Structure 1
Amino acid sequence: MSDASHGEASAYPFQLLFVPFPFVCFSLTLATDIAYWRTANLMWSNFSAWLLFAGLVAGGLAILAGLVDLLRRRTRPMRPSFVSIILFIVMLILAFINSLVHAGDGWTAVVPYGLLLSAITFVVSLMAVSASSRKYARLAWRV
């Protein structure tokens, strides 16, 4: 491995390995909540609870990896913006509250508050993706 490719590989932020998982899990949580609302099949409620759990675990790992990236000098230009970090944390807090709501029993664990929280979490996740993609687009195009 040449020194140039080794330098590029060591500059890859660890957090980018974990960050996509919460977005996918929370998007799918909204889909499974809608499926539960439409069918009342308990399987969809269980899927939502597990997706919330998986997204929260991956989000926690992303935060830990982000803290490691703060200490690495080579990842400095690729750090996310302050706004995207705040939105990511708000998304995780909303998902945690949603997980507590989904821990309830039966129909009322999802409809209406779990479904509403899933929708709000999804919107916040879209805002976080938008905020972080602008920074990476500027880096790629050197704007």
Structure 2
Amino acid sequence: MAVLSPTDRDATAYPIQSLFVPFPFVCFTLALATDIAFWQSNNLMWQNFSAWLLCAGLVFGVIAILAGLIDLARPRTRPLRAAFPSVLLYLVILALAFLNSLVHAGDGWTAVVPYGLTLSAVTSAFCLVAAAVSARKYARLAWRI
């Protein structure tokens, strides 16, 4: 039986939010892809896919925020918490996705083109920026720079 010292236990901490943060990014990026498919084909199935992907991304985004709050309460994961710019970007992404979901609630072509498609593209761009900002922080932490 191995006995872990306090420093070993701290090293094995894993933030719960890391399990949920990728889901909204994937859902919002796929919503952009389905918006482009709707724009090119005018098939209402793609509009429905976009609406469901936005809904799933928002649900998992809220779960990720709640998991982040739990991680703030856990002493072992406090050093691994997201930086303030990352948190701010996550909140902007969720706000844009919520607005995009309201736009997609309309019927037909005007629910997606041009405003829904533009909001999906902007949301996906913010997802890329947030991923780059988060990766930079974790790289610094891993390499102790």
Q: Sort the Cα spacing of 1:141 and 1:98 in 2 relative to 1 into closer, same or farther, 3 A.
A: same
- Distance in structure 2 (CA, Å) of the matches to 1:3 and 1:118: 50
Deviations 1:53-87 (CA, angstroms, capped at 9, x unpaired): 00000000000000011111111211111000000
- Aligned residue runs from structure 1 range 87-98, under 5 A: 87-98=89-100
Q: Sort the Cα spacing of 1:123 and 1:3 in 2 relative to 1 into closer, same or farther, 3 A.
A: farther
Question: % of aligned pairs identical?
Answer: 68
| Total equivalences in the alignment | 143
2:73 to 71, 74, 81: 71
- Distance in structure 1 (CA, Å) of the matches to 2:64 and 2:121: 22
Cα offset, 1:4, TM superposition: 3.9
Cα offset, 1:140, TM superposition: 1.0
Q: Counterpart of 1:73 in 2: which secondary structure?
A: coil
The unaligned stretches of length 5 or more in structure 2 are none
Give the ranges of 4+ consecutive aligned residues of structure 1 lying more than 6 Å apart after TM superposition: none
RMSD of aligned Cα (Å): 1.7
- Aligned residue runs from structure 1 range 62-141, under 5 A: 62-141=64-143
Q: Sort the Cα spacing of 1:37 and 1:11 in 2 relative to 1 into closer, same or farther, 3 A.
A: same
Q: Which residue of 2 aligns with 1:53?
A: 55
Q: Sort the Cα spacing of 1:106 and 1:2 in 2 relative to 1 into closer, same or farther, 3 A.
A: farther
- What is the TM-score of this pair, normalised by structure 2? 0.93
Deviations 1:90-110 (CA, angstroms, capped at 9, x unpaired): 000000000000000000000
